Copies of this chain bind each other. A is one copy, B any other.
Amino acid sequence: MATSAVAPPSFETRPAGAPQDERQRVPHRAATDDFHWEGVEQRPYKEDERALYKTITRQVLFSDPAMAGELRYFEVAPGGFSTLERHEHMHAVLILRGRGHCLIGEEVKRLETRDLVTVPPMTWHQFRASTAEPLGFLCMVNAERDKPRLPSPDDLARLHEDPKVAAFLRGDAPAVAK
């Protein structure tokens, strides 16, 4: 399983001390080809070099001092994956592009375009793209949120006890019911 050489901290993305949003309130941003948007910067996925992930990008679509939530777009390249992590804040996810699988707690789910995923508080989760195409998803979070936590060696050992979860973590496309 290849890993990113340069790695940043998780689903948590706002650098400490950074303003919530330096951008103006632009009423309309046209979508450009290939899932980008006018004036929206493609950022590195994470700023925590401890996090393990592979070929994933991040675009912050909505972040505003007057909004209690933020909406981000993550895109995982074919065969790539997000960081395995958990935290107190929740994720509300809609698959915008492609297909893949995700781990939510001890459940492995097959994902198709437009499927919804709810990640409850303190629940281990990871997203994996299929090898055929990118997996792009919207993720709504609270603007005020805690930092993600990475699994300890003990956590990883526990997760690997379930063969389905272990196969998912290895990157073996699981034969799970949708």
A: residues with CB less than 8 A from B are 25-31, 35, 37, 40, 61-62, 64, 66-71, 89-90, 92, 94-96, 102, 104-105, 107, 109, 111-121, 138, 140, 142-144, 178
Contact = CB atoms under 8 A, between A and B. Distances in A.
A120 B25 CA distance: 7
A90 to B, nearest CB: 5
A106 to B, nearest CB: 10
Nearest to A37: B116
A1 to B, nearest CB: 24
Copies in the complex: 2
B28 A69 contact: no
Given A118-B26, A120-B25, A67 B64 contact: no
B66 A118 contact: no
